[in-house]
Structure 1
Amino acid sequence: MASFRLMIAAVSLSLVQLSMGSRRLMELYIPPASDQLTYHHGSVLSGDIPVSILWYGKFTPTQMSIIADFVVSLTGAPNAATPSVGQWWGTIEQLYLSNAATNSQTSTRVLLDEQVSDEQCSLGKSLTLAQIDQLAARVGTKRGGVALVFTDEDVTVEGFCSSRCGKHGSDASAGTTHIWVGNSAKQCPGQCAWPFAQPVYGPQGTPLVAPNNDVGADGMVMILASMVAGTVTNPYGDGFYQGPQDAPLEACSACPGVYGSGAYPGNAGKLLVDATTGASYNANGANRRKYNPATSSCDTLV
């Protein structure tokens, strides 16, 4: 099977990489309390977390598998090479989920559930955030689960590109959460798919090679990773965050643009590079795919 490469966005976590001969080991780094998110004694997602997907618009089978494989990689690829997406998820679990007062579970499992498509865009191709909530409700998410809504490159969404690349929300009474991420390939790749596209603002550098030769799908994975981290640690607004409740700094926004060591504005950092394709990545996942998480102190997997 051909090897695919992906990157995912930085989150508020930290792993220290050690080297022993030719073997790469990953050691959990616990940042000081001042660098960790504050727990507000509310709920987190834990135990079995069913994830359902609604594909809104037209996605190719390859695009769908790229994104679905990331979901599987969170807890369903224990044999993936290191550094791995599973280790990234394990850090979220150890630093936050296992320390929540409401968490009676000893571990979490992310389970890919139902996938449905709305290729005809039944609500049109210009959506409000309220309509995103309606689409999420269609999926029929189980209690304690997450509905993922993905919109294709021809669908515009309120605030997309101008103020957001994705968003997470919830229905506390139903005990469900949802995430929306849009494909920015046509509308704003420089804003929502950097470093795989030329940035709109700031220092200009050569874009990295998109891991699956699909700037839109690879960009969606980066945004999805950030949204997943924020959703599981602060699903209903009273979990782990810093700052005001209505504008929190969550486990997905501490180190924007940091994908490898030595990162600085306009440069994603030093990443692993596939010798054949030139694709950049820093973590392994299911089906030999590659991804890229980071940390609250901005330490990275590579």
Structure 2
Amino acid sequence: MQKFTCHVVLLLFLLCFFQAFSWSQFNQGENYEGSSDLINLEYHMGPVLASAINLYIIWYGQWNPTHQATIRDFLDSLSSSSSVPYPSVADWWDTVRLYTDQTGLNITATISISGEFYDSGYSHGVYLSRLSMQSIIKAAVTSHSRPLPLNPHNGLYLVLTSQDVQVEDFCRAVCGFHYFTFPILVGVTVPYAWVGYSGTQCPGVDGMISVIAHELAEVSSNPLINAWYAGEDPTAPTEIADLCLGLYGSGGGGGYMGKVYKDAWGNGYNVHGVKGRRFLVQWVWNPVKRRCFGPNALD
């Protein structure tokens, strides 16, 4: 999505994380798991990310290696692995894969971290605008030291800003967004997403994981803002994750996140990842079932 409101949700089991609300969706009223009365999700004939995705991460600012490892493990979990128990992150991604382009090709099942760039020197300062993300990508692909490749064929760029970086409207209005680069700025058109680290407001990196999942689902199904979304205004689309904000399990809605699992410390999760990881990831809209859905659903 291009813009969404961010607020802190306190979980009963003492885990808080950032959620996203689209103003257009907020004004339509509450969304409940299993309801499709307000949904008019349409395909606008644009491309989806059907080719295997080469994901390029730009770590902007100073990062804790432990947090980086958690994020990498989540991203590595998106592609299916028989060694990960059900329900897995890859099982969650299967719902995203139901979306197709006009030729019938589904969103890819393969997402690989193909490069990482460390902008630890804050090349564009600690106060960033939304447009700054494109300049950061440009700097990463033209750097004299270990530049990222500029991949217009199947590249996806993920800009992650550290906790000391302030981005325009974060977290007052946005905690992440996706868009595409302008050739005049970067040289080519490539899809990208930005997510800011929310660990200063919430414990750990858990909240950031859900926002990353949200943005990856939407950039894959609407990379050029002309594919899958609801609403009449492409400049403020309601996308497949926006439709399911705040829903993580069966029975969710009206401020209740739904039924999720708990680990030995009482932390909530709903999917398994690689290396024994457990993540809490919001549901997305299932176009076949016509409702919000996740692999931990009870029905």
Give the alignment's TM-score, normalised by structure 1.
Answer: 0.74
CA distance in 2, matches of 1:216, 1:59: 12
- 1:208-223 paired onto structure 2 within 5 Å: 215-223=203-211
Q: Offset at 1:129?
A: 1.2
Is residue 245–residue 282 contact of structure 2 (8 Å, CA) maintained in 1? Answer: no
- Equivalent residue, structure 1, for 2:123: 122
CA distance in 1, matches of 2:161, 2:268: 25
Gaps of 5+ in 1: 11-29, 190-196, 198-214
- 1:206-245 paired onto structure 2 within 5 Å: 215-243=203-231, 244-245=233-234
- Equivalent residue, structure 1, for 2:151: 142
- Equivalent residue, structure 2, for 1:255: 244
CA distance in 2, matches of 1:270, 1:123: 42
- Equivalent residue, structure 2, for 1:17: none
Query: Would you say 1:87 and 2:91 are equivalent positions?
Result: yes
Q: Over aligned residues, Cα RMSD in angstroms? A: 2.9
Aligned residue among 174, 196, 199 for 1:185: 199
Q: Offset at 1:159?
A: 1.2
CA distance in 2, matches of 1:271, 1:106: 27
Is residue 73–residue 275 contact of structure 2 (8 Å, CA) maintained in 1? Answer: yes
Q: Offset at 1:92?
A: 1.2
Cα distance change of structure 1 residues 8 and 182 upon mapping to structure 2, 3 Å threshold: closer
- Equivalent residue, structure 2, for 1:78: 82
CA distance in 2, matches of 1:163, 1:7: 15
SS of equivalent to 1:178: strand
CA distance in 1, matches of 2:107, 2:88: 21
- Equivalent residue, structure 2, for 1:208: none
Moved more, 283-292 or 42-51: 283-292
Is residue 7–residue 290 contact of structure 1 (8 Å, CA) maintained in 2? Answer: no
Q: Offset at 1:242?
A: 0.8
Is residue 76–residue 110 contact of structure 1 (8 Å, CA) maintained in 2? Answer: no
Q: Offset at 1:115?
A: 0.8
Aligned residue among 60, 63, 68 for 1:64: 68
Give aligned-pair identity as a percent.
31
CA distance in 1, matches of 2:112, 2:17: 21
CA distance in 1, matches of 2:111, 2:235: 27
Q: Offset at 1:184?
A: 1.9
Task: Number of aligned residue pairs: give it.
Answer: 250
Cα distance change of structure 1 residues 87 and 7 upon mapping to structure 2, 3 Å threshold: farther
